[in-house]
Structure 1
Amino acid sequence: MIIESDLKLDFKDVLIRPKRSTLQSRNDVDVNRSFTFLHTQRDWTGFPLIAANMDVTGSMGMARALSRFGAMTALHKHYKADELAAFFRAEAESATLSNVFYSMGIAEADHDKFQAVKAKAPVGKICLDVANGYTERFVEVISRLREENPDTVIMAGNVVTGDMTEALLLAGADIVKVGIGPGSVCTTRKMTGVGYPQLSAIIECADAAHGLKGQVCGDGGCTVPGDISKAYGAGADFVMLGGMLAGHDECEGEIRYEDRDGNRVPVAMTFYGMSSDTAMHKYSGGVASYRASEGKTVEIPYRGPVENTMQEIMGGVRSMMTYIGATRLKEVPKRTTFVRVGAQLNTVFGG
């Protein structure tokens, strides 16, 4: 048994200290970033935000909507092969294609399904997604995918430590997904006791990745636009969102309606973790005897089109950049100083 006593931080534990700046307006900053990926040497430019590959948020409608903002979507794993092939063919000549990840697991059936889709349509990015990225099997699958798909960008995870970030990059990943347990509908920490404070995880994994010229994607833990700013400040190249993008028209969650003044109006949407009872009953016939549910099911307010939320998110990031004098998003980590706090918000009138 080992105890690490050095401080580990989450988004709630810090604020970003402002700095003197010559910037006059939020219009003076550029929230896009450009990357050349490690193994493929392919270029990408856009707003580095990714909708999570949960079946509510990782939808084809979300992919088309976020692409208009230069942001990306990791499609969920549960579309049928023919649906995916049709989508990738339809978007082959559009900007959407460069902003979409095909999501898959590490079972042989996942590999076969990907091969079937790839045979019918172009797939430029893969999100290899498992809850526990620390297994030898996971590393082996990354190596196999890289060998078979030398020109495809691979994002793989999840992990929370620098050593495993390096291992995944060396195995063939271009982007490493960072986060164990911080998601709004994830109960992994409650059920297993395993996890890592998300801000520190991003800092440590980003440091390891950037030494190898790879990238990291902070996955989970963001509840407000300010958390996204903190993730970028900590060194995240990309930020993945689930709950913050749920509840919108472009999602595929079940909507609850109410009658108001004779009209049937949407008021809430079901949202759940992909290791929850809800997801496992939907896709696997129930919770297997050898495991426990590690997700919860909630109902969140209906929010209308995702365009409104994206404007809030991007506006928050732009404002953060003016506070610290960062003209380009790439400059944010170098200009970020975190200060530890006991509280962030004045909640006298609610959260």
Structure 2
Amino acid sequence: MAQLIAEVSRTFNEFLLLPNRTRTDCSAATVDLSTPLSRYTADEAPAVELRSPFTSAIMQAVSTPDLAIALARNGGLSFLHHNQPVEDQAAAVRRVKNGAGAGPSEGDGRHPGRLVDAAGRLRVGAGINTHDYRERVPALLEAGVDALCFDSSDGYSDWQAQALTWVKKHHPEIPVGGGNVVDGEAFTFLAEAGADFVKVGVGGGSICITRDQKGIGRGQASAVLDVAAARDAFRERTGAYVPICSDGGLVHDYHVALALAMGADFVMMGRFFARFDQAAGAKVATRDGFVKEYWGEGSNRARNWQRYGQGGRELVFEEGVDGFVPYAGDLTEGLALTVAKLRTTMVSCGSTTLPEFRSTARLTLVSDQSFQESHANVDLRTTPATAS
């Protein structure tokens, strides 16, 4: 008989944060959004620490070199997609590290919050897979990559554990993430295999239809809460802190705050970044304005032979769709608005650091009626005509 998990599978929409006391030293200007990307202990600092808790998804439609440069200049990190020849992905890494405006120009003071390595070059990550990692990882390291992440819709597998173990044995200097998972048991499995961070989320992405197609997944809020508890237990048992990344289910800006309050160390987003100029999708004019093309890595358009082993042929069935997202202009301007909202939320919760936010945040469940109460309840269409 199947095991039944009694807890309801919950989404971010089902929660709100309660305000905490805002101290006089707590303001948007004093909020520190730095957060570890990789595993660390009390005696050893993380190899990579983000200046801002944002990473872009391992997707063709999202993480281009241009987007990686823009995001690193704003304190985050992109993971360049791996659904391409090793040489092309390595060239993309080199472009971020050494070209297209990166390198010496990063010291001119225009981007004070930028994420750089010890040599002052912008940091960049790359996605890898469990098929050709023995060839791909050395090439990416030679190109100067700062972090790697295995890309799988379901990371709770012996193949990923074996691949993680190989990377950590042969290249222990490079941080490498695992995932995706939705429960504490799977987190512990990957952490023990050597993962330096673990991505959380199955089926919650805006372009993902895994739950419709396979009936597999979990509400993102429930998944983050469960994995965060396992991460804390792993730290108590081993002394190692393995950060977790909330990947998927982030529909509104405030969902980022909820994910971080629930225990995520940073978030990964696809749709959010696909809207910007720096993403790969074409900008298309419509009657109502501009949109950008956006497609999932599990869609036929992606031809993701590395994930599905189809050799470039049509997929047996899709786990992602092909669509459009509203165009949002330049990444720097769009991300700044989201960061401003996150900072003010943290202030209302009496926190100036992400660890403090996680440890003191108070959450309440939301009924359908209180969810409706959260939205504007006036006629926003036009100004009424003046009576004659």
Give me the TM-score of the superposition, normalised by structure 1. 0.89
1:322 pairs with one of 324, 341, 347: 347
Distance in structure 2 (CA, Å) of the matches to 1:171 and 1:219: 20
Aligned twin of 1:81: 86
Question: Shift of residue 98 of structure 1?
Answer: 6.0
Aligned twin of 1:12: 13
Give the residue type in structure 1 aligned to 2:299: S
Distance in structure 1 (CA, Å) of the matches to 2:128 and 2:187: 19
Aligned twin of 1:268: 291
Q: Structure 1's 192 and 86: CA in aligned 2 closer, same or farther, altered over 3 A?
A: closer
Most deviating of 75-84 and 332-341: 75-84
Give the residue type in structure 1 aligned to 2:63: G
SS in 2 for 1:99: coil
Distance in structure 2 (CA, Å) of the matches to 1:98 and 1:196: 35
Counterpart contact for 2:261–2:358, Cα < 8 Å? yes
Q: Structure 1's 151 and 26: CA in aligned 2 closer, same or farther, altered over 3 A?
A: same
Give the number of the structure whose alpha-carbon radius of gyration is greater: 2
Aligned twin of 2:145: 123
Distance in structure 1 (CA, Å) of the matches to 2:199 and 2:275: 24
Structure 1 unpaired stretches of 5+: 261-265
Give the residue type in structure 2 aligned to 1:139: A
Distance in structure 1 (CA, Å) of the matches to 2:32 and 2:304: 44
Distance in structure 2 (CA, Å) of the matches to 1:105 and 1:46: 27
Aligned twin of 2:244: 216
Question: Shift of residue 282 of structure 1?
Answer: 9.5
Q: Structure 1's 271 and 285: CA in aligned 2 closer, same or farther, altered over 3 A?
A: same
Counterpart contact for 2:128–2:150, Cα < 8 Å? yes
Question: Shift of residue 117 of structure 1?
Answer: 3.6
What do the CA deviations read for 1:197-245 (whole angstroms, capped 9, x no partner)?
Answer: 1111111112212333111001001011100000000000110011111
Counterpart contact for 2:82–2:89, Cα < 8 Å? no
Question: Shift of residue 45 of structure 1?
Answer: 4.1
Distance in structure 1 (CA, Å) of the matches to 2:54 and 2:363: 22
Aligned twin of 1:300: 325
Aligned twin of 2:112: none
Q: Structure 1's 122 and 302: CA in aligned 2 closer, same or farther, altered over 3 A?
A: same
Aligned twin of 2:128: 104
Question: Shift of residue 287 of structure 1?
Answer: 2.7
Distance in structure 2 (CA, Å) of the matches to 1:180 and 1:77: 19
Structure 2 unpaired stretches of 5+: 107-115, 236-240, 381-388
Q: Displaced runs of 4+ in structure 1, greater than 6 A?
A: none
Question: Shift of residue 172 of structure 1?
Answer: 0.8
1:226 pairs with one of 249, 254, 277: 254
Instruction: Give me the CA root mean square deviation.
Output: 2.5
1:186 and 2:191 matched: no
Distance in structure 1 (CA, Å) of the matches to 2:36 and 2:216: 34
Aligned twin of 2:358: 333
Distance in structure 2 (CA, Å) of the matches to 1:298 and 1:259: 16
1:168 and 2:190 matched: yes
Give the residue type in structure 2 aligned to 1:252: A
Most deviating of 86-95 and 332-341: 86-95
Counterpart contact for 1:224–1:244, Cα < 8 Å? no
2:28 pairs with one of 20, 26, 29: 26
Aligned twin of 1:62: 67
- 1:278-293 alignment, distance < 5 Å: 278-280=301-303, 285-288=312-315, 291-293=316-318
Aligned-pair identity (%)? 26
SS in 1 for 2:344: helix
SS in 2 for 1:287: coil
Question: Shift of residue 35 of structure 1?
Answer: 6.0
What do the CA deviations read for 1:67-119 (whole angstroms, capped 9, x no partner)?
Answer: 111111111113443343334345165627663211111113x432333343x
Aligned twin of 1:263: none
Give the residue type in structure 2 aligned to 1:246: A
